[in-house]
């Protein structure tokens, strides 16, 4: 279907889940259902898929395209951070695999009409779940210069954060910033021309990413989810995470390392006395990245990072 991107690292992610018929698997980010459809094929007959997404468009698509023969499918409109609640409601104590893909779908960029793209002039919304209360336009209108600069720097790692924030605040005094096109033009005006020419990405890329992360509380949600996700796995069950920028991947990497080596004893101690033992083993010691061939066919996959752990 037009507007739904090619799923990033599809084969690698599905292999990481170690799927087989009869397994209970969670796809916490249905998106275009690329991963979910492959999962369904591999857990049938007798398997169960719990598919979650906070975007109503993704939920509607899942109900149209996912197979229903020889397996159980539960489709949930919500955020994967609430997985413990969803499993409780389904009377499922634990699952055999969890996959989350934390990227934007091409549909959200090109066809959602919510201002995710700096190449379009749409309402500056950026909510993945339209039931959420705060939009990107509201943040841009209400935050002070220093707050905006901190946001652009922390979540977007934007070099020109203060300069962009100052320009934005000055401009909004005479013209509210209500669309993605307006914001993109403001950022281009604020970034020095020489710096903009030397970048491989559009000057507004990092600002748009920062606002999207803030609106959807993406890093907070990811961190909270990772605190409890492994507890929801059966022994031998796997948790796989596809991240798309360094901030997300850093959270995943640090959490996986802590789960694998939770000991807090000083290195000088001859033996562990804290009593904390590993709960997982890392499936891939080194982060997996897409192949050059995949990137050439699907440029949106170029920044993908895949990590997985298995519960002991």
Binding-site members are 33-35, 53, 80, 101, 108
Q: Would you state the pLDDT for residue 24?
A: 98
Residue 146 located in a structural domain: yes
Shared-domain flag, residues 156 and 289: no
Binding-site members for S-adenosyl-L-methionine are 33-35, 53, 80, 101, 108
The residue segments making up the domain with residue 52 are 10-107+219-311
Q: Would you state the pLDDT for residue 145?
A: 97
Q: Which residues of the chain have pLDDT under 70?
A: 1-5
Q: Would you state the pLDDT for residue 31?
A: 92
pLDDT tens for each residue of 108-157: 888 889 999 999 999 999 999 999 989 999 999 999 999 999 999 999 99
Residue 114 located in a structural domain: no
List C-alpha distances in Å: 28 to 35, 52, 117, 143, 239: 10, 5, 23, 31, 11
Domain limit, last residue, from 189, 215, 241 = 215
Domain limit, last residue, from 164, 189, 215 = 215
Q: Would you state the pLDDT for residue 4?
A: 52
Shared-domain flag, residues 293 and 252: yes
Shared-domain flag, residues 143 and 228: no
Rounded to two decimals, the pTM is 0.93
Asked if 187 contacts 104 with a C-beta cutoff of 8 angstroms, the reply is no
Q: Would you state the pLDDT for residue 1?
A: 38
Q: Would you state the pLDDT for residue 137?
A: 98
Pair of tokens at residue 94? 């634990």
> Dihedral (C-alpha) 76, 77, 79, 82: value to the nearest 10 degrees?
-50
Residue 3 located in a structural domain: no
Q: How many domains does the chain have?
A: 2
């Amino acid at each position: 279907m037009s507007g739904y991107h090619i799923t990033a690292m599809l084969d690698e992610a599905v292999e990481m889940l170690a799927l087989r018929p009869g397994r209970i698997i969670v796809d916490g980010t249905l998106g275009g259902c690329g991963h979910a459809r492959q999962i369904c094929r591999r857990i049938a007959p007798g398997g169960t898929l719990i598919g979650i997404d906070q975007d109503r468009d993704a939920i509607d698509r899942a109900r149209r395209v996912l197979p229903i023969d020889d397996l159980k499918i539960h489709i949930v409109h919500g955020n994967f951070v609430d997985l413990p609640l969803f499993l409780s409601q389904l009377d499922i104590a634990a699952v055999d695999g969890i996959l989350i893909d934390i990227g934007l779908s091409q549909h959200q960029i090109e066809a959602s009409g919510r201002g995710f793209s700096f190449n379009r002039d749409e309402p500056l919304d950026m909510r993945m779940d339209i039931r959420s209360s705060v939009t990107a336009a509201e943040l841009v209108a209400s935050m002070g210069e220093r707050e905006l600069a901190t946001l652009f720097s922390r979540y977007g790692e934007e070099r020109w954060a203060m300069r962009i924030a100052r320009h934005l605040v000055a401009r909004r005094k005479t013209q509210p910033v209500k669309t993605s096109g307006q914001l993109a033009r403001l950022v281009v005006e604020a970034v020095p021309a020489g710096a903009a020419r030397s970048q491989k990405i559009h000057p507004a890329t990092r600002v748009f990413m920062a606002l999207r992360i803030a609106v959807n509380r993406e890093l907070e949600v990811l961190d909270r989810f990772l605190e409890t996700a492994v507890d929801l796995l059966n022994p031998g069950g796997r948790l796989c995470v596809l991240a798309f920028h360094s901030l997300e991947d850093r959270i995943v990497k640090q959490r996986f390392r802590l789960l694998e080596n939770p000991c807090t004893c000083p290195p000088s101690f001859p033996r562990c006395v804290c009593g904390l033992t590993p709960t997982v083993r890392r499936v891939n010691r080194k982060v997996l990245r897409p192949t050059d061939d995949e990137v050439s066919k699907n440029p949106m996959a170029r920044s993908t990072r895949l990590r997985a752990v298995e519960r002991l």
